[in-house]
Amino acid sequence: MVERRKPIWVKEATEKIMEWKKRGEIEWVSIDDCDSRFLAEPLIADHDVPPFDRSPYDGFAIRSCDTLLASSKNPVQFEVVDEIGAGQVSIKQLQEFQAIRIMTGAAIPKGADSVIMLELVKEETSFDKKIITIKRKVNARENISFQGEDTKKGEVLLEQGTIINPGVKALLATFGYHKVPVAKKPVIGVIATGSELLRVDEPLVPGKIRNSNGYMIESQIIRAGASIKKYENCADNLESLLTTVKSALKECDIIITTGGVSVGDFDYLPEIYIKIGAEVLFNKIAMRPGSVTTVAQCDNKLLYGLSGNPSSCYVGFELYVRPIIRYWLYSNKPFLRKTTATLIKDFPKPNPFTRFVRSKLGYDNGSLFVEPVGLDKPNVVTSIAWADCLMVLPGGTKGYKTGDLVDILLLEDQAGSDESWKERQKSSR
Amino acid sequence: MVERRKPIWVKEATEKIMEWKKRGEIEWVSIDDCDSRFLAEPLIADHDVPPFDRSPYDGFAIRSCDTLLASSKNPVQFEVVDEIGAGQVSIKQLQEFQAIRIMTGAAIPKGADSVIMLELVKEETSFDKKIITIKRKVNARENISFQGEDTKKGEVLLEQGTIINPGVKALLATFGYHKVPVAKKPVIGVIATGSELLRVDEPLVPGKIRNSNGYMIESQIIRAGASIKKYENCADNLESLLTTVKSALKECDIIITTGGVSVGDFDYLPEIYIKIGAEVLFNKIAMRPGSVTTVAQCDNKLLYGLSGNPSSCYVGFELYVRPIIRYWLYSNKPFLRKTTATLIKDFPKPNPFTRFVRSKLGYDNGSLFVEPVGLDKPNVVTSIAWADCLMVLPGGTKGYKTGDLVDILLLEDQAGSDESWKERQKSSR
């Protein structure tokens, strides 16, 4: 008999899974290994930046008052009394008409209140003395980077949840974070079901296909920032699948199965959920592809039953698994980055369900354009390779046409959105 | 004495480095380890997709001619003579008014030319026979995914140089690539110079700062997809720096030094280039920051002398090191992705040099907006953390204002551009 399932909105499905969100445990990793992870604590300045008044240029530290009357007609001479390399500190106190040679980044010596750039002075040696000639007035405080002008000690520079890019890593180094607080990556168990599945290294035989969904999901997991625990492909056999799911529940933080969630005779997942005592949060969503995406929870762990269709599986992951992973990792923008773009291809066929169409984004002249990639049939796996966004076409009685402004969700973006995509208004069903 | 250097255009600098581009050696890595790398050979279908005529739904395989007269007023009964799970093949040949139960993905049995979905039939058992009732006409070829309809055997599905995303990984699995051809990552030697530099785990002392540039560059190298070989910070000492550079030339494919390329007394890089017999390609570029970016080649290896200023160092890497790495990795779009956006902040100060301003991209209503982040001073490291693009403001006598359309280069993007940013017209100097 065919079970009749009641579809829920994308908005509701997202809310239901986000009720089970949690932050990961904090671990301190070497600064060498923190790239693309998220700060699990705010980044705080452990000192002023710059830590001392310093010279932003190669030049000479001087007293500006000595240049008051300097001009091309009235060049003024200074005696060079010391030389400060970067990392060195001068013990001299600058006196009238004295200058100290100073390198980029070095500390301003006592008595000096300005720096004149190397290119603006004439250097010469006279009777064993080094002399420079200055032909312009220099203002007090000119060419000095002052202590704390960039950042004060104790300041929160970056909030918890910031993704670690090269600039963040530079800040971590500046402030002595040789260990960096990040979330332990969640371990996602991946169980591909289906007697038709071959391993990638097996030759094709009649009726069978290689397990591509498993690899796709693993790549999505890596892109989202989590770890993978792979289980052997499970044939469509209730007992072996049950055993595997039970092990995965012990060994993983989140479990994904692919296939077996439809209403066919070999779709055992619904029965598995009953046997392990899981609470099914939903098993039908008003969307295409991915309408059979099923999510259950057991012992506070989410179990995702994604469709065996590649595109349904792909979209189900990005909409419902990824935000849980990103939140776990301390991201405050766990959802796919959302924006709008102008459609450049007609999409005439209406659909009562909201569609998430694999698409490609284009930029031109300050605007965003989007077009679907390949045939948008659920089993055309090639189009997933080309897609860099999902175009969202809310369900209704009309199609879409060139020039329409449509919502898009970026797939390769790391920044994310703090809000998920949701239906704008609920029509009654 | 101050050496006078002649600046070259960004366009010329890019052309000069790209003369030394080369592809990396190919290695075959496990499909488990190929994420975010580039295909070093085209991806070819080793079989038709689908590999056989199959059902896209759970349902019953039938002969469409038997449904010619079926309607709600004239229901037609079929005897269910077999059942095919995914991965199974039926040995039965379908006869008049027979049906075979078929699962999603299973091969269409002989004699059948269509599938009716499970939801559209009534199932019952009568005298130990399984019977289904159909109340509509089914067309020939309905609900069948035909062999090869997605892809034909031998077809090139993805070109060399395609980045491996989850969709590409699914294709690799589908076509049996348990080993994937990619470029061996280039090893980039990183040598930070400067007596002022402390290690990240050292306490601050007067006149010194922690080496943040080294970590930033390493993070940029990781983001670009290459490997790092780290050398101990070199104090501003000619002999030790020379020894380190010589080792790096043996051990690395590309060498980056930070600091020491200016015209100050402790800037030893120019001398090092002479001592190792390197050819300096350029040592001054008409850009800000990063004007002192120096590139030399020695034994067909590129040596980059990046500025010690964080933002100069950052921009120098993204414009001149990254494309060499991405090309090495087989990318056909090795340059930063280029587009345009509307400026939403005045930038009144003109500059004779082209500026690459650390900025943040915004999307709104199908358009792209850009604004500079933080103070754009070369030593404000915090702004690099916030930037997701570089806004390019060509040099001239005027500033820029809100509403201007400006070029931007995306920093977090993986797709890239096949062309580098270049000056639109050369003014005479």
Q: Do A167 and B387 touch (CB under 8 A)?
A: yes
pLDDT at B259: 85
Q: Both B271 and B176 in a single domain?
A: no
- Distance CA(B256)–CA(A168), nearest Å, equals 20
Shared domain check, B316 and B369 = no
Last residue of a domain, one of A328, A348, A383: A328
Q: Is the pLDDT of residue B428 over 50?
A: no
Determine the average pLDDT of the residues in A3-12: 88
For B171, phi then psi, to 5°, come to -65, -40
Test the B interface: residue of A219, A318, A383 with most B CBs within 10 Å = A219
Whether A254 and A301 have beta carbons less than 8 Å apart is answered as yes
- Average pLDDT over chain A, rounded to whole? 92
CA of A140, closest CA in chain B: separation in Å?
Answer: 19
Residues facing residue A84 across a β-bridge:
A102
Mean pLDDT, rounded, for B338-349: 94
Residues of A in contact with B390 (CB under 8 A): none
pLDDT band for B314, please (50, 70, 90 cuts): very high
The answer to whether residue B140 sits within a structural domain is no
Residue B379 lies in a domain: yes
Minimal C-alpha gap between A357 and chain B (Å): 14
Distance from CA of B240 to the nearest CA of A (A): 17
Neighbours of B243 (CB within 10 A): 12
Determine the Cα–Cα distance for residues A398 and A396; give it in Å rounded to an integer. Answer: 6
Contact yes or no for B216 and A169 at CB 8 A: yes
Sequence-distant (6+) residues with CB within 8 A of B188 are B221, B226, B227, B228, B229, B252, B253, B254, B255, B256, B321, B325
Mutation target vs A (from B211, B382, B384, B407; most A CBs, 10 A cutoff): B382
Cα separation, A3 vs A15, in Å, equals: 24
CB contact under 8 A, B47 and A176: no
Q: Which domain holds residue A163?
A: 29-49+158-183
Contact A88 B381 (CB under 8 A): no
- Per the prediction, chain B carries an average pLDDT of 92
In angstroms, the Cα distances linking A359 to A346, A355, B88 are: 13, 12, 34
pLDDT at B231 over 50: yes
Q: Is residue A269 part of a domain?
A: yes
The predicted structure's pLDDT at residue A265? 56
The helix/strand/coil state of A165 is: coil
**In DSSP terms, which residues pair with A371 in a beta bridge?**
A360
Same domain, A200 and A171: no
Closest by CA position to B87, among listed A22, A193, A70: A193
Question: What is the C-alpha radius of gyration for chain B, rounded to an integer number of angstroms?
Answer: 31
Which of B134, B165, B196 is the C-terminal boundary of a domain?
B134
pLDDT higher than threshold 80 for residue A114: yes
- On whether both B174 and B290 belong to a single domain, the answer is no
Q: What SS3 state is found at A372?
A: strand
A51 vs B204, B339, B363: nearest CB: B204
CATH code, domain with A346: 2.40.340.10
Please check whether residue A1 lies inside any domain of the structure.
no
Cβ–Cβ < 8 Å for B64, B140: yes
Q: Do B174 and A207 touch (CB under 8 A)?
A: no
Q: Are strands A129-134 and B389-393 parallel, antiparallel or unpaired?
A: unpaired
A406: helix, coil or strand?
Answer: strand
Q: H or E stretch including A239?
A: helix A238-251
Supply the CATH number for residue B208's domain.
3.40.980.10
Indicate whether B274 and B373 sit together in one domain.
Answer: no
3-class secondary structure per residue, chain B = CCCCCCCECHHHHHHHHHCCCCCCCEEEEEHHHCCCCECCCCEECCCCECCCCECCCCEEEECHHHHCCCCCCCCEEEEEEEEECCCCCCCCECCCCEEEEECCCCECCECCCEEEEHHHEEEEEECCEEEEEECCCCCCCCCCECCCCCECCCCEEECCCCECCHHHHHHHHHCCCCEEEEECCCEEEEEEECCCEECCCCCCCCCCEECHHHHHHHHHHHHHCCEEEECCCECCCHHHHHHHHHHHHHHCCEEEEECCCCCCCCCCHHHHHHHCCCEEEECCECEECCCCCEEEEECCEEEEEECCCHHHHHHHHHHHHHHHHHHHCCCCCCECEEEEEEECCCECCCCCCEEEEEEEEEEECCEEEEEECCCCCCCCCHHHHHCCEEEEECCCCCCECCCCEEEEEECCCCCCECCCCCCCCCCCC
Separation CA A66–CA A59 (nearest Å): 16
Q: How far away is chain A from the Cα of B219, in angstroms, using its nearest Cα?
A: 5
Q: How many C-beta atoms lie closer than 10 Å to residue B35's C-beta?
A: 20
How far apart, in whole angstroms, are the C-alpha atoms of residue A246 and residue A194? 18
- Tell me the chain A residues in contact with residue B362 when contact means C-beta distances shorter than 8 Å: none
pLDDT of residue A425: 67
Instruction: Give the Cα-Cα-Cα angle A388, A390, A394 (nearest 5 degrees).
Output: 165
Joined together, the tokens standing for residue A245 give 């799911």
Preceding amide of A394 cis, omega within 30 = no
The nearest alpha carbon in chain A to B109 belongs to A207
Q: What is the pLDDT of residue A104?
A: 84
- Looking at the fold, whether A195 and A177 belong to one and the same domain comes out as no
Q: Which of A176-180, A422-426, B181-185 is predicted least confidently?
A: A422-426
DSSP structural state of residue A378:
T
Dihedral angle computed from the Cα positions of residues B100, B101, B104 and B108, in that order, rounded to the nearest 10 degrees: -10
Packing angle of the helix pair B212-224, A166-174 (nearest 10 deg): 160
Per-residue pLDDT tens over the stretch B154-198? 999 999 999 999 999 999 999 999 999 999 999 999 998 888 889
Smallest Cα–Cα separation from B408: which of B425, B395, B389, B394?
B389
Query: Does residue A351 share a domain with residue A234?
Result: no
Residue among A184, A144, A189, A177 nearest A328 (CA): A184
Supply the pLDDT for residue B1.
43
Per-residue pLDDT tens over the stretch A56-77: 888 999 999 999 999 999 999 9
Mean per-residue pLDDT, A74-98? 93
Does residue B271 register a pLDDT over 50?
A: yes
In a domain, A424, yes or no: no
What's the mean pLDDT in B200-207? 90
pLDDT for A131: 96
Is the pLDDT reported for residue B429 higher than 50?
Answer: no
CB distance A107–B206 less than 8 Å? yes
Cα dihedral A195→A198→A204→A209 (10° resolution): 60
Percent pLDDT > 90 in chain B is 79
Does the residue A54 lie in any domain? Answer: no
Q: Backbone dihedral region of A330: left (phi > 0), alpha (psi from -120 to 50 degrees) or beta? A: left
Q: Is there a single domain that holds both residue B279 and residue B238?
A: yes
| pLDDT category of residue A1 using cuts at 50, 70 and 90 | very low
Q: pLDDT-based confidence at A428, cuts 50/70/90? A: very low
**CATH for B167:** 3.90.105.10
A152's tokens = 């004060």
Arithmetic mean of pLDDT, B342-352? 92
Cβ neighbours of residue B198 closer than 8 Å, sequence gap 6 or more: B204, B205, B208, B209, B210, B211
What is the arithmetic mean of pLDDT over B410-429? 83
Same domain (yes/no): A208, A281: yes
Chain A residues near residue B87 by CB distance under 8 angstroms = 194-197, 207-208, 235-236
Q: Mapping DSSP to helix (H, G, I), strand (E, B) and coil, where does residue A37 land?
A: coil
User: Which tokens hold the place of A7?
Assistant: 């579809």
- Is the per-residue pLDDT at B375 higher than 60? no
Q: Both B179 and B215 in a single domain?
A: no
Q: Does pLDDT of B427 surpass 80?
A: no
- Give the distance between the most distant pair of CA atoms in chain B: 107
Contact assignment for A52 to B83 by CB distance below 8 Å: no
d(CA B235, CA B257): 12
Read off the pLDDT of residues A309-328 as tens digits, 9 standing for 90 and up: 889 999 999 999 999 999 99
| Minimum CA–CA partner of A367 in chain B | B367
Measured torsion, CA atoms of residues A55, A59, A64, A66, in degrees rounded to the nearest 10 = 150
C-alpha distances in angstroms, B131 versus B24, B76, B121, B142? 63, 10, 10, 21
CATH number of residue A94's parent domain: 2.170.190.11
Tell me the mean pLDDT in the region A332-346.
96
Report, as an integer, the average pLDDT of A278-292: 95
Q: Are residues A37 and A63 in the same domain?
A: no
Radius of gyration (Cα) for chain A, nearest Å?
31
Does residue B423 sit within a domain?
no
CB contact under 8 A, B265 and A308: no
Same structural domain, A233 and A255 = yes
Q: With an 8 Å Cβ cutoff, are A194 and B86 in contact?
A: yes
Overall domain count for chain B: 4
Q: Quick one: average pLDDT of A374-385?
A: 68
